Amino acid sequence: MSKAKEDAVKRTTDAVKKSTGNEKRSVKERLVQWFRDLKSELKKVVWPTKEQTIKNTTVALAVTFASAIVLWGFDWIAAKGVEALISLVG
């Protein structure tokens, strides 16, 4: 490996190994910081409107219902195929 590549790898791994400072703080302090971060991230969320929620729920239910019908159809066909095989053998 060339010297330039070795230096690049060393710099990359050094950046990964840097401490975040969480090791020196108590569990309570880290937990409080976690909740603060959580609150700030939740402020960034773009919450859907009531209409969007209703539309998305309707689509999800429709897709679930359609999938159930398709799976039921495959199951019914497979059951009829097994019955046909059993009647041929028996």
HEC per residue, 5-64 = HHHHHHHHHHHHHCCCCHHHCCHHHHHHHHHHHHHHHHHHCCCCCHHHHHHHHHHHHHHH
pLDDT in tens, 27-83: 999 999 999 999 999 999 999 999 999 999 999 999 999 999 999 999 999 999 999
- The answer, yes or no, to whether residue 23 has pLDDT greater than 80, is no
Give the whole-angstrom CA distance, residue 44 versus residue 26: 28
Q: What is the pLDDT of residue 51?
A: 98
Q: What is the pLDDT of residue 49?
A: 97
Give the whole-angstrom CA distance, residue 5 versus residue 9: 6
Q: What is the pLDDT of residue 25?
A: 86
Q: What is the pTM of this model?
A: 0.52
Q: How is the chain split into domains, by residue range?
A: 48-90
- Among 1-5, 13-17, 34-38, the range scoring the smallest mean pLDDT is 13-17
